[in-house]
Amino acid sequence: MDDGFLQTCLFFTANRLGRAITKMAEEEFAPTGLSPMYGYLIRLVAGAPGISQKELAEKLSITPSTLTRFVDKLEAKRLVERKGQGKTVLVYPTKKAEELLESIRQASRNLHDRYEALLGADAAKRLTEDLNASSALLERH
Amino acid sequence: MDDGFLQTCLFFTANRLGRAITKMAEEEFAPTGLSPMYGYLIRLVAGAPGISQKELAEKLSITPSTLTRFVDKLEAKRLVERKGQGKTVLVYPTKKAEELLESIRQASRNLHDRYEALLGADAAKRLTEDLNASSALLERH
DNA sequence: ATTTATATTTTGTATGTACAAACAAAATAA
DNA sequence: TTATTTTGTTTGTACATACAAAATATAAAT
């Protein structure tokens, strides 16, 4: 069958892996009550209280509008608080978020262990580094 | 700042690349009037007229429910036709789809050329192969 | 032949994400 | 000091995708 074009297309293969690892990540993060991106957002905020939304969007490589939605949800769950500083919005973790932190870190570790077991430690590390490097190149067009 | 955990997490890096390459792919596929996944779906159907939805979902690594939605849309655009063969649904390309094919192939080529120019031919090829191999390992849990 | 089990598809619902436009505040220039 | 531009955020809307449950249709077993 004439379907080799899929396996040679970076768009397809990158998203294919994205779907597979997202499913796994959602399973591992289930105990935290958050999906993985929200968990990472909380880790960033807890590691730099008062970080601006702009910085958060940049670090997470998502658009500002998406970040607004994320912060909306975490604020509704009383996990972060906004404090407007002029036109920029600063984000702070709540006590509740800090209490969740260890569970989030554990989920990250479990996820890491799980895919490492399947891919091998070396291959996983190399792949992750390659993905970072390639993303950086593509993001600048 | 304490944000290294992002760069070492395969979930994050895979989806980061996914977002970057998806944006690029959407730009290159714009002339076809389709988003990239729909273009590839049409290529599969044109390459194997009468292929079942189940097979299509497998080849594209998406869930059957997502595939149903995709075929719904392409059917509404008169690009494919369904023919129920018992419990399975067979999908056929229309004339209109066949007329689009060359434009879709061209978009794929343009996309390929574009990211290859940024990543280098060798690196792009290796990355794509790694992504395929890793997806295969992760999809089986 | 009727019931039961199995495989495929569809539907309802939810989520992550983006773009474009609107809005608000700040910085710069006149 | 007022007018213009830039920067950061939010809102409306749309789309790709998934899961769980329902529907449909075949095949298997009694």
Counted across chains A and B, CB pairs separated by less than 8 A come out at 169
Q: How confident is the model at residue B65 (pLDDT cuts 50, 70, 90)?
A: very high
pLDDT for position A140 = 80
Whether residue A13 is predicted with pLDDT greater than 80 in this model: the reply is yes
CATH class of the domain at B4-139: mainly alpha
* Average pLDDT rounded to a whole number, residues B32-51: 97
Closest residue of B to A104, CA-based? Answer: B5
pLDDT for position B95 = 98
Whether residue A1 is predicted with pLDDT greater than 80 in this model: the reply is no
Q: How confident is the model at residue B7 (pLDDT cuts 50, 70, 90)?
A: very high
Q: Is the C-alpha dihedral spanning B99, B100, B103, B109 positive or negative? A: negative
The partner residues of A114 in beta bridges, in order of sequence, read none
Which of B1, B19, B130 is facing A127, going by the closest CB pair? B130
Q: How confident is the model at residue B141 (pLDDT cuts 50, 70, 90)?
A: confident
Lowest-confidence pick of A71-75, A82-86, A104-108, A114-118? A82-86
Which of B10, B25, B44 is facing A11, going by the closest CB pair? B25
Q: B109 is written with which tokens?
A: 């080529």
pLDDT for position A102 = 97
Whether residue A141 is predicted with pLDDT greater than 90 in this model: the reply is no
Quote helix, strand, coil % in chain A, to nearest 5.
75, 10, 15
Whole-number Å distance between alpha carbons of A90 and A93: 10
The nt closest to A65 (CA vs C1′) is D10
Closest residue of A to B115, CA-based? Answer: A138
In whole angstroms, D4 C1' to A90 CA is 27
Whole-number Å distance between alpha carbons of A38 and A105: 12
pLDDT for position B24 = 97
Summarize pLDDT for B68-90 with one digit per residue, the tens.
999 999 999 999 999 988 889 99
Give the three-state DSSP class for B85: strand
pLDDT for position B2 = 84
The nt closest to B73 (CA vs C1′) is D15
* Average pLDDT rounded to a whole number, residues A37-66: 97
pLDDT for position B86 = 80
Q: How far is B115 from chain A (nearest CA, A)?
A: 7
Concatenated DSSP letters of A55-89: HHHHHHT--HHHHHHHHHHHHHTTSEEEEEETTEE
CATH class of the domain at A34-139: mainly alpha
Summarize pLDDT for B94-106 with one digit per residue, the tens.
999 999 999 999 9
Q: A2 is written with which tokens?
A: 């004439």
pLDDT for position B66 = 98
Nearest protein residue, CA measured to C1' of C11:
B65
Whole-number Å distance between alpha carbons of B98 and B79: 8
Q: What is the mean pLDDT of chain B?
A: 96
Nearest protein residue, CA measured to C1' of C17:
A66
In whole angstroms, D25 C1' to B35 CA is 33
Whole-number Å distance between alpha carbons of A32 and A34: 5
Mutation site, A6, A11, A24, interface B, largest B CB count within 10 A: A11
Which has more pLDDT, B48 or B87?
B48
Closest CA to B37 of A6, A7, A141, A135: A6
Q: Where are the domains of chain A?
A: 34-139
